[in-house]
Amino acid sequence: MADIFYLSHIRFGWGALAELGPALSGLGVVRPLVVTDAGIRAAGILDRVLGAGAAAAPVFDATPTNPTEAAVEAALALYRAEGCDGLVAVGGGSPVDLAKGVALLAAHPGQLAGYAAILGGVPRITASTAPVVAVPTTAGTGSEVGRAALITLEDGRKLGFISPHLIPKAAICDPELTLGLPPLLTAATGMDAVTHCVETYLSPRYNPPAEAIALDGLARAVAAIERAVADGRDRTARQEMLMAALQGGLTFQKGLGAVHALSHPLGGLKEPSLHHGTLNAVLLPAVLRYNEPAAAEKYGTLRRVLGLPGDASLPNHFQALSTRLGLPSGLRAMGVPEACLADIARQATLDHSAATNPRPASEAEFLALLREAMGT
């Protein structure tokens, strides 16, 4: 049976931020908690968002690079102390995922771990989850329309919390908010969007609408990413990247693959703290090399979408793209220590994204992928 699920209300376009107030009142949210990070505040984006319909709202701006259980608890305490009845998440994937964690615990008893997907938590997440309005400021995560939150627990595991009830009730996608994103973050978050489109397309689940969205998103992203990195004020490129990221998020329901099964535990490392999109860009070539025997026909479609000749190597194509974008050449260059690889490989086999990789991977195969992605 195919499980096809589209319910997001998305306001997309230049100036869409003005829709924040109406979106909140439409949801009956009177006192939202705004969840963001220090960088968004420093960039002046937080003030613009507050001015667009959340003027008196309390703000939690201590979202870490990778959201943690401790940060969810801290934001939840503020949510309760301020008598909030909903959330506005402003930023990249981390504030959005953190807001989802708060929305969950605001209406469900117990600790986060009880709701993790791999621990059987999916059916425990109910419609009582507090409403979230997501305002993305990067073009990559897709979390603004996704049903998952990735949060690192106190014990170090980075786990997925997955439910249709975690999908933000509204997404306000205004490309204006992405114009100031620096080149390297534009590249790294953009490669997250690219990876979402590639991995969900290759997922073996039957969901033709999601595949069509993934291929369209991929075409937009590869056409725009280098322009957005070279000139952040290129409005067409920014709009295309934000749409590609949104489309990547709309296809999550089809399931991701080995790139994300590996980047989730790597993103859970305390030291070094690793950027999700950068990890995906670095892991993608090795995973594409591994998956090719299991998805030859789909690789042909991907080549056509990318405008590549029939004998072109997809892994080499994406490797070259990453290099042109100025992203690191491998995990070693990102500071990943050799000593953690065996544990990351073990955790990857347990990650919810492993199940939808087109070619099943054992712990030893995940370890080989990590070794290949270490680079020189």
Nearer to Zn ion, 192 or 211 (CB): 192
Taking residue 38's Cβ as centre, other Cβ atoms within 10 Å add up to 12
Nearer to Zn ion, 130 or 256 (CB): 256
Taking alpha carbons only, the member of 59, 133, 139, 124 closest to residue 100 is 133
Nearer to Zn ion, 176 or 192 (CB): 192
CA dist., res. 132 & res. 284, Å (int): 31
Can you read off the two tokens belonging to residue 339? 């000593």
Give me the least distance between CB of 323 and Zn ion, in Å please: 20
Residue whose beta carbon is closest to Zn ion: 192
Give me the least distance between CB of 260 and Zn ion, in Å please: 6
Give me the least distance between CB of 252 and Zn ion, in Å please: 9
> Locate tokens 């969950």: which residue?
104
CA dist., res. 327 & res. 315, Å (int): 15
Nearer to Zn ion, 192 or 351 (CB): 192
Give me the least distance between CB of 196 and Zn ion, in Å please: 6
Give me the least distance between CB of 126 and Zn ion, in Å please: 26
Nearer to Zn ion, 48 or 254 (CB): 254
CA dist., res. 199 & res. 192, Å (int): 10
Is 106 within 8 Å of 80 (Cβ atoms)? Answer: yes
Nearer to Zn ion, 37 or 192 (CB): 192
Can you read off the two tokens belonging to residue 63? 């979202």
CA dist., res. 199 & res. 182, Å (int): 26
Kindly give the residue spans of alpha helices, DSSP state H, lying in 251-353.
258-267, 276-291, 296-306, 314-324, 341-350
- The torsion angle over the Cα atoms of residues 309, 311, 314 and 316, rounded to 10 degrees, is -100
Give me the least distance between CB of 112 and Zn ion, in Å please: 20
Report the interface residues with Zn ion, using CB under 5 A. Answer: 192
Give me the least distance between CB of 145 and Zn ion, in Å please: 13
Nearer to Zn ion, 19 or 97 (CB): 97
- Could you check whether the bond before residue 272 is cis, i.e. omega within 30 degrees of 0? yes
